[in-house]
Amino acid sequence: MALGNKKLGQVAVVVRDMDAALDRYSRLLGVERPDVIVTQPGDEVNMSAYGGPSNARAKLAFFDLGGVQLELIEPMGGESTWQKVLDEKGEGLHHIAFWQEDYAATTEALGDAGFSEVQRGDMGEGQYGYFLGEDGVMVEILQAKR
């Protein structure tokens, strides 16, 4: 099974300062600043990072770009891919995301393609997972309902 979804859902950028990034991208895109969401603590959403539990949090903001979202992520502490990417690479691309209906099958397909799960958590009725490829590209799988 491949991803089976040729439509990209999201491109995410990790940032050091959400307010500055919102100003920068709002000017660039010519749109209003979106609301900022603060994630629940990781232990409240069954979050894991790099094989162990994580209590990380982040600030998130989403620009709707006509079918694809631009997501901004500012880590707020705790072990996470968000913080690791920011620490190791600085501000920039974090992941590309695809919506999927069968999380388990998609996880298996990603493993077969050389991707390993590096972070996951619940989000409302759904769940997300980040998978790191051998080429260093991170793919997020989003599932609306577990």
Please give the pLDDT value at position 67.
87
In tens, the pLDDT along 84-107 reads 999 999 999 999 999 998 899 999
3-state SS string over 86-132?
Answer: HHHHCCEEEEEEEECCCHHHHHHHHHHCCCEEEEEEEECCEEEEEEE
**CB crowding 32-61: b at 16 or more within 10 Å, else e:** eebeeeebeebeebebbbeeeebbbbbbbb
Alpha-carbon gap, residue 80 to 142, rounded angstroms: 17
Cβ atoms 78, 42 nearer than 8 A: yes
Cβ atoms 100, 3 nearer than 8 A: yes
In tens, the pLDDT along 22-60 reads 999 999 999 999 999 999 999 999 999 999 999 999 999
Alpha-carbon gap, residue 92 to 13, rounded angstroms: 5
- Domain 10-143 fold: 2,3-Dihydroxybiphenyl 1,2-Dioxygenase; domain 1 (3.10.180)
Whether residue 119 has pLDDT greater than 80? yes
Average pLDDT, rounded, for the chain: 94
